Structure 1
Amino acid sequence: MSITPLADTSDLVELYKPLKLFLKPTARVNISVALPQLKDPGQSISNWDLMERIKKMVHPIQFAAIKVAKSTIEFVRFEADVDNRQLMNKVIKTLDGSAIKVIGFYESLKVRAAEAKSDFPSRHDWDSFFRDAKNMNE
């Protein structure tokens, strides 16, 4: 759980008015950066540097949060949250298919971006689980 100050409060959903609790829908983007083969021993790429370059590419849009979701020798995947779906679409349009030039590498790094699948089960997943569970009785 994270608490972040909000710039845009237009789409808040009231959760419990007496305590002034609201929910803020966000949109999540998966950003993958394909890494080149490292030819020199000790050569590396900073995930932090890649994250900062991605932030600059989408400026003036700011991520509510961004983190490394997975890092391998072949790619780095980031998960980024933005305030709404409209901004998410702009971020995807800006990043998907673009390239990042990193000092020390001849090849540009290819960037892919797409809407992240929700962590929560869909209605179909929920219904299937209870329909197929052997120890459940309607």
Structure 2
Amino acid sequence: MKASRWAGGVTLAYAVGFGLPAIPIAAYVRSERALPWLWDLFPMYGGPWWDALTVNQFIATLLAFAGVTGVVAVGGVLLLSNRRLGAILAVAPIPVEVAFWIGFALPIPPVMAVARVALVVAAWRRLAPVTDRTAPA
């Protein structure tokens, strides 16, 4: 159960740390027509999509990213409860997430994804299976 809790924690840290900020950043972009800067070091979510998309398209991609990470967050919560469905929700969206990481130039999430996958693999056998509740008894 320890690996599933670690997997849930890493998954939630990623979702909260990178997905949740996409919402206020989208609001900032909508009002300012510019990206906010992190400690005057670099623009947040300032990857190639910022130059390639219109402001409205960029906002839509930020909100889509927030939605995908919302699904991942649900997976993290379920992993904390030792549920196999949580593992599926935490790992299955990674191919979609990769597109967002590239488009927004996010270097840390891929490292967190490797940790998520490794921890899910370590916990898999001890996770509570997904049951088919629609099958007749």
Q: TM-score range by the shorter chain?
A: under 0.3
Bigger share in strand? 1
Structure showing greater relative contact order (alpha-carbon pairs closer than 8 Å, 6 or more residues apart): 2
TM-score, length-normalised on structure 1? 0.27
TM-score, length-normalised on structure 2? 0.27
